[in-house]
């Protein structure tokens, strides 16, 4: 099969995936509005199916492009949505927390919507990007961003949880504040670990490609800023009275830094990562 | 702790400012971009080179000091905690954070909770079981701090002692590498193009000679594939165009030499007269806006954008094809033989490995802190022969407690779960 054929299939799959994520989001909204658990179950199945097809789309694009599909804005955005979906599904299953999927769905849809607005053309890679480190560097960033996305969603749920009356519909589907705080901490932990790995692999790669493992490029600097914000989050949690609400707010602020590192830096502060 | 959080906040803010203000520019640039008052403030506060400013280096030094003190202060208490956590006596008297009564198979319960090594003993109230897991997790933050310290030290020492040289040239050129006593020769340079005219790879063949002992080493370097020769690392960093410039005076050859795009050549018998090669276009065409541009990377229609200066004053600027010549009074100038030159960066940083080790230690610390969560379980047998099992986990208490209750039921906890104190 020709490369073009693979890319056509990927295009089709991408559209189907977007529709599935959209349908899942609408059903989750309906679940909250109509208070019917069955709708959430269907939404979860659609999100799961979307994730499977999304994985297939990424693999097919990789085959069509003849390389890892992680090198331009479209590819990173669709991978970012995939990473967020992966981490949220893992957390839903691990912590039996269905409502997390409901709150993650709009974020996933927004990110894949952003991907849909980017050019899907496949270009050959410039020599600096032709490295095995690319796979390690970008795939770890996808998991890190996905985990931070989940911590953002959990932060929002935590703040909403505070305003819920006991025994309300959502109250029965949302864990206790202590558990929410802990799951949020776990997602930040996962994100920070992978972000550290991203920075480390990026530094090793930069040293090989550009002769300098750290040159204060805006992308590097904002990765460090994101790292510092989550490091502050972890330190604050050790202080009395800072768990819960304050940690939730910090998780939300941290994700804004993540989004700026991803989109804002490329738009406003171009550097050597301008292609990313 | 407060000081550390304050430092992290200030560093975050400083990095944000450093990423927003274009670094390494002149006062005039900042005055044009932000106004004169802001430009004055930027220069006074060293925000133009923020990441190398005295105050940013001081902040980093404070962070190092804080990390050292934090780790030194915590070391004795951590060692003490390790001892206490391993000692059953410390746990047996307490009720833990969660407990279950009437467990029939305590050892199976321990195993199901991930506690492998179980110690047994006989107390005043009867036999007991005790186990602790993931003690290494207690060291997570400490190891992480150590890693950050090594990373900053490696980076800082590297920046202070690093030797960096840049040499550019064409195949056949040689140049001394700074004060190292070594000589770099460029043996070859190839630009591999794909069918769509994009670059696949830049590859340079290099030889380094050390006249002091007559030794020489050779290597091929390309982007992403540097080579280490005589302890120095050689990077294929960049490329550009070079060509031959021929200057005649009254029709007689006066000067033939190489000129690089972005460089100038003074006329040998009149150094005040300078020819500057602004840019080279291998496949010259006029852009829709009327300016010069290249249609491809192939040498289909080479053109040279030049400027001529006399005593610093520009006399003219234009694009010259190979078939054309530039006349300045008695002088005629022509260009030909365009080819790519290579720019090679040479670096010696003795502390890169220290920084890398620091990064790996940070990773290890984070894994210990996040994924090896220290927990204890102990059980005491009652007079009725059943066991009361207790559990405690420093982090993740709620989740540990949930799992404890779940597994406890599977292992014969007869009593309903007690109210937890998490």
Give A173-219 pLDDT, tens digit per residue.
888 888 889 999 999 999 999 999 999 999 999 999 988 999 999 99
Q: Which of residues 23-82 of B touch A (CB under 8 A)?
A: 23, 51
Nearest to A252 by CA among A229, A276, A222, A219: A229
pLDDT band per the 50, 70, 90 thresholds, residue A170: low
Q: How far apart are CA B170 and CA B258, in angstroms?
A: 9
Would an 8 Å CB–CB cutoff place A240 in contact with chain B?
A: no
The answer to whether the CB of B225 falls within 8 A of the CB of B177 is: no
Domain A1-124 listed as CATH 1.20.120: yes
**Are B96 and B400 a contacting pair, CB within 8 Å?**
no
- The verdict on a CB contact (< 8 Å) between A238 and B1 is yes
Q: Where are the beta strands (DSSP E) in B104-231?
A: 119-123, 126-133, 163-169, 174-176, 183-193, 199-210, 215-222, 227-229
Question: Is pLDDT of B396 > 80?
Answer: no
Of A21, A167, A38, A31, nearest in space to A99 by CA: A31
Q: What one-character-per-residue DSSP string does B40-55 give?
A: HHHHHTTGGGGGGSHH
Residue to test with chain A: of B7, B63, B394, B398, most A Cβ within 10 A: B398
Tell me the average pLDDT across B149-153.
96
pLDDT band of residue B421 (cuts 50, 70, 90) is: very low
Which residues in A lie closer than 8 A to residue B196 (C-beta atoms)?
A: 124
**CA distance to partner chain A, nearest, from residue B309 (Å):** 33
Confidence of residue B155 (pLDDT cuts 50, 70, 90): very high
Set out the domains of chain B in order of their start, with CATH numbers: 1-52 (no CATH), 98-134+374-410 (3.30.160), 170-341 (no CATH)
Q: Looking at the partner chain, which of B1, B367, B370 has a beta carbon nearest the beta carbon of A235?
A: B1
pTM above 0.90, yes or no: no
A106 neighbors A94 (Cβ within 8 angstroms)? no
Which residues are paired to B179 by β-bridges?
none
Q: How far apart are CA B40 and CA B48, in angstroms?
A: 10
Most A CBs within 10 Å: which of B10, B12, B194, B198, as the mutation test of the A interface? B12
ipTM of the complex: 0.88
Is residue A153 within 8 A of residue A107, CB to CB? The reply is: yes
Whether chain A has a CB inside 8 Å of the CB on B255: the answer is no
To test the contact with chain B by mutation, choose from A65, A127, A275 the residue with the greatest count of B C-beta atoms within 10 A, namely: A127
What are A253-267's pLDDT values in tens digits? 999 999 999 888 877
Question: Residue ranges per domain, chain A?
Answer: 1-124, 131-276
């Amino acid at each position: 099969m020709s490369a073009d054929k693979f890319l056509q299939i990927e295009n089709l799959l991408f559209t189907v995936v977007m529709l599935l994520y959209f349908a899942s989001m609408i059903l989750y909204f309906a679940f909250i509005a109509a208070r019917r658990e069955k709708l959430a179950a269907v939404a979860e199945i659609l999100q799961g199916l979307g994730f499977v097809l999304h994985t297939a789309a990424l693999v097919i694009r990789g085959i069509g492009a003849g390389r890892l599909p992680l090198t331009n804005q479209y590819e990173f955005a669709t991978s970012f949505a995939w990473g967020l979906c992966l981490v949220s599904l893992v957390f839903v299953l691990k912590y039996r927390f269905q409502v997390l999927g409901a709150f993650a769905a709009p974020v996933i849809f927004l990110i894949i919507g952003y991907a849909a607005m980017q050019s899907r053309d496949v270009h050959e890679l410039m020599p600096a990007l032709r490295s095995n480190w690319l796979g390690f560097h970008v795939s770890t960033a996808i998991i890190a961003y996905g985990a931070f996305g989940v911590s953002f969603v959990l932060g929002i749920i935590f703040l909403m949880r505070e305003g819920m009356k006991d025994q309300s519909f959502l109250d029965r589907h949302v864990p206790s504040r202590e558990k929410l705080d802990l799951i949020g901490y776990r997602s930040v932990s996962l994100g920070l670990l992978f972000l550290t790995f991203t920075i480390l692999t990026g530094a090793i790669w930069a040293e090989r490609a550009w002769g300098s493992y750290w040159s204060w490029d805006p992308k590097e600097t904002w990765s460090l800023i994101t790292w510092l914000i989550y490091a502050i989050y972890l330190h604050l949690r050790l202080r009395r009275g800072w768990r819960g609400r304050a940690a939730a707010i910090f998780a939300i602020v941290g994700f804004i830094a993540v989004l700026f590192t991803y989109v804002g830096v490329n738009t406003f502060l171009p550097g050597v990562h301008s292609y990313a | 702790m407060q000081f550390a959080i304050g430092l992290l906040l200030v560093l975050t803010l400083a990095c944000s400012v450093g990423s927003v203000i274009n670094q390494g520019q002149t006062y005039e640039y900042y005055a044009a971009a932000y106004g004169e008052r802001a430009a004055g403030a930027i220069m006074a506060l060293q925000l133009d080179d923020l990441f190398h400013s005295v105050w940013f280096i001081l902040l980093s030094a404070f962070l190092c000091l804080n990390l050292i003190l934090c780790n030194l202060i915590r070391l004795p208490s951590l060692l003490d905690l390790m001892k206490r956590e391993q000692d059953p006596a410390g746990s047996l008297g307490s009720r833990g954070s969660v407990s279950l009564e009437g467990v029939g198979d305590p050892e199976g319960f321990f195993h199901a909770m991930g506690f492998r090594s179980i110690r047994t003993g006989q107390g005043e109230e009867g036999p007991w079981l005790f186990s602790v897991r993931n003690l290494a997790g207690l060291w997570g933050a400490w190891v992480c701090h150590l890693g950050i310290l090594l990373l900053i030290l490696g980076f800082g020492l590297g920046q202070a002692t690093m030797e960096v040289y840049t040499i550019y040239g064409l195949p056949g050129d040689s140049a001394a590498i700074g004060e190292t006593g070594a000589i770099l020769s460029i043996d070859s340079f190839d630009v591999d193009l794909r069918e769509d005219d994009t670059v696949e790879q830049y590859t340079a063949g290099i030889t380094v000679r050390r006249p002091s002992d007559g030794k020489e080493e050779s290597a091929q370097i390309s982007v992403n594939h540097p080579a280490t020769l005589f302890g120095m690392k050689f990077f294929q960093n960049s490329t550009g165009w070079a060509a031959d410039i021929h200057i005649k005076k009254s029709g007689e050859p006066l000067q033939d030499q190489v000129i690089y795009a972005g460089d100038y050549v003074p006329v040998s018998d009149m150094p005040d007269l300078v020819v500057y090669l602004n840019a080279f276009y291998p496949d010259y065409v006029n852009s829709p806006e009327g300016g010069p541009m290249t249609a491809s990377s192939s040498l289909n229609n080479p053109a040279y954008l030049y400027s001529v200066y006399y005593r610093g004053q520009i006399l003219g600027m234009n694009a010259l094809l190979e078939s054309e010549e530039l006349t300045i009074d008695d002088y005629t100038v022509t260009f030909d033989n365009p080819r790519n030159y290579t720019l090679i960066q040479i670096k010696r940083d003795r502390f890169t490995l220290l920084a890398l080790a620091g990064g790996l230690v940070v990773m290890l610390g984070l894994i210990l802190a996040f994924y090896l969560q220290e927990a204890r379980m102990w059980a005491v047998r009652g007079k009725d022969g059943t066991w009361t099992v207790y559990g405690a986990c420093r982090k993740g208490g709620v989740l540990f407690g949930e799992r404890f209750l779940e597994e406890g039921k599977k292992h014969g906890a007869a009593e309903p779960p007690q109210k937890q104190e998490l």
